[in-house]
Structure 1
Amino acid sequence: MARLQVGLPELVGDIAKYAAKFDMVELHPVPGAAPRASTLRAWRRAINPSFTFSVVLPPIVGELSMSKEMNAALEEALATATTVEARCIVVSTPPSVRPTSGTIAKLRALVERLPRPSVVLCWEPHGLWERREIISTAKQLGVVAVLDAAQATVPPGPVVYTRLRSLGGQGAVSERNIERVAAQLSGRREAWVVVEHRPSAPRVRTQLAQAMSRVSTPPPAPVVRPAAGRLRAEDEEQ
């Protein structure tokens, strides 16, 4: 069964108390206002080494402006990722970043600046991208495409990073969608699940683990019993 890690798109409250409820958290470093290195190191020391920090690069990086401001924001975010020993780095591109050859070239240039292979690189496009374009581009770049596994089929591969979206902060994840997500995560090596609807996140974590356990456990083999008449005939021959 996949190593399942569920969390929120932001840190809520004390890191140790948070880590007692969840397995991962996304950090969104703000250029010029990221947490101090001492704070980040304290967070890392306060929790189990298996807990995952995922760093989402700032919006100015996702805009692919290739400006000095973008470079500065990228360096600061990567410093945050290094300090917390981030397992994942997410590039989130806005709707203004369209599926063109120029965009793919800029994405490739950005990805080449990100650490490998110790970090799982993820890309989450927004806007007019079709699923086939997302998967094709992610494959070209060697990154994990971020989709909503409750609404779309995630691409094949040993790892999955999915965001269960909640438009406008409304809409808990239904049990039906949890079953669908579990079926898609079955057979993977690792799965990171970000739940946007904060109130339902603990329930999603519990029910998703249960659903994945059911999916990964094969049903018992049927017991085949020999026909009674055949046994009697064989006994008479003996």
Structure 2
Amino acid sequence: MATLKVGCCGFAGSMHDYYEKFDVVEVQQTFYKLPKESTLSRWRLEAPGDFEFTVKAYQAVTHPKTSPTWRRAGRDVSSRLPEDIGHLKPSPVNFEAWTKTVEAMKILKAKICLVQCPPSFTATEENIENMRRFFSEVDREGVEVAWEPRHRSWYGDLDKMRRLLDSLSLIDVVDIFKREPLSSHPIGYIRLHGLGGDVNYSYKYSEADLRNLKDRIIKLCSLKKLVYVFFNNVTMKRDSLTFKSIWCESV
């Protein structure tokens, strides 16, 4: 049976309270604007020694200058973005963004980097080739890459998708209510965005939903060595704690 870790996509409430209730968090701040080294060092120092951070890659790696997510970085940043930023292009600006992401990971002692690509990153041959070059050229030593594309075109040919994931040693990030992981990577990485659509952040998981989730995760744990489950909805703290309680009933 694989080790299971349950947490939230971002700190839900105060960090100190979160540290008392969970043993892992997916850091969101690194996506919008990389925190100062002193801030990251403080987070690591204040967290329990066995607490784990996973890090969402800086959006310069994945999101082009037209992405609305850049607004949160500030007008002074978004107005100066180069054309070749994002979409996993093997460009100097993207390589630099990756390096800065990895530097943040090292401070937090994080081992997993979530690389979330926007809906504009479709499964074209150009994007696939750029992706292959990018992940082949960047420094990935000590870093496991969890990849989450947001456009459905990537799942039109599941065999092709599986080969791509495995050829680049990527963790297949999924919402397990919608599909199961394709890659053979020993780590499972689940992000739950709500039911009733691709994403439905306002959804509140019922007890029946969470018991259904438990059955799905038990099956996944028989195939993996380590499984992460992150809730990414408005009631993520409540839902993740309820799921942890349900999980512990007979495990």
Matched, 1:181 2:217: yes
Structure 1 residue aligned with 2:200:
168
Matched, 1:78 2:114: no
Matched, 1:108 2:137: no
> What is the one-letter code of the residue matched to 1:154?
P
> What is the one-letter code of the residue matched to 1:153?
E
Structure 1 pair 176–30 and aligned structure 2 pair: CA distance change class (3 A):
closer
1:127-206 map, 5 Å: 127=151, 128-130=153-155, 131-155=158-182, 156-166=184-194, 167-173=199-205, 174=209, 175-197=211-233, 198=236, 199-206=238-245
Q: Percent identity?
A: 23
> What is the one-letter code of the residue matched to 2:230?
V
Distance between the aligned counterparts of 1:73 and 1:208, measured in 2? 38
Structure 2 residue aligned with 1:92:
116
Stretches of structure 2 that go unaligned for 5 or more consecutive residues are: 63-86
- TM-score (ref. length: structure 2): 0.74
Structure 1 pair 134–21 and aligned structure 2 pair: CA distance change class (3 A):
farther
Matched, 1:124 2:148: yes
Structure 2 residue aligned with 1:38:
38
> What is the one-letter code of the residue matched to 2:220?
Q
Q: Deviations over 1:215-234 (max 9, x none)?
A: xxxxxxxxxxxxxxxxxxxx
Distance between the aligned counterparts of 2:25 and 2:112, measured in 1? 10
Distance between the aligned counterparts of 2:150 and 2:42, measured in 1? 34
Distance between the aligned counterparts of 1:193 and 1:111, measured in 2? 24
Deviation at 1:177, TM superposition (A): 2.8
Matched, 1:53 2:82: no
Q: Deviations over 1:190-233 (max 9, x none)?
A: 1111111313121122223446x2xxxxxxxxxxxxxxxxxxxx
Which deviates more, 144-153 or 67-76? 67-76
Q: Report the secondary structure of 2:104's partner residue.
A: helix
Deviation at 1:93, TM superposition (A): 1.3
Structure 1 pair 186–41 and aligned structure 2 pair: CA distance change class (3 A):
same
Distance between the aligned counterparts of 1:143 and 1:121, measured in 2? 6
Q: Report the secondary structure of 2:18's partner residue.
A: helix
> What is the one-letter code of the residue matched to 1:140?
S
Among 58, 63, 88, which residue is 1:64 paired with? 88
Structure 2 residue aligned with 1:22:
22
Q: Deviations over 1:136-179 (max 9, x none)?
A: 21111111111112221223442211112223313234122332
Structure 2 residue aligned with 1:208:
247
> What is the one-letter code of the residue matched to 2:189?
Y
Compare CA radii of gyration and give the structure with the larger one: 1
Distance between the aligned counterparts of 1:145 and 1:85, measured in 2? 22
> What is the one-letter code of the residue matched to 2:225?
R
Work out whether residues 182 and 208 of structure 1, in 8 Å CA contact, stay in contact via their aligned partners in 2. no
Work out whether residues 150 and 181 of structure 1, in 8 Å CA contact, stay in contact via their aligned partners in 2. no
Structure 1 pair 138–210 and aligned structure 2 pair: CA distance change class (3 A):
farther
Structure 1 pair 119–74 and aligned structure 2 pair: CA distance change class (3 A):
closer
- TM-score (ref. length: structure 1): 0.78
Structure 2 residue aligned with 1:236:
none
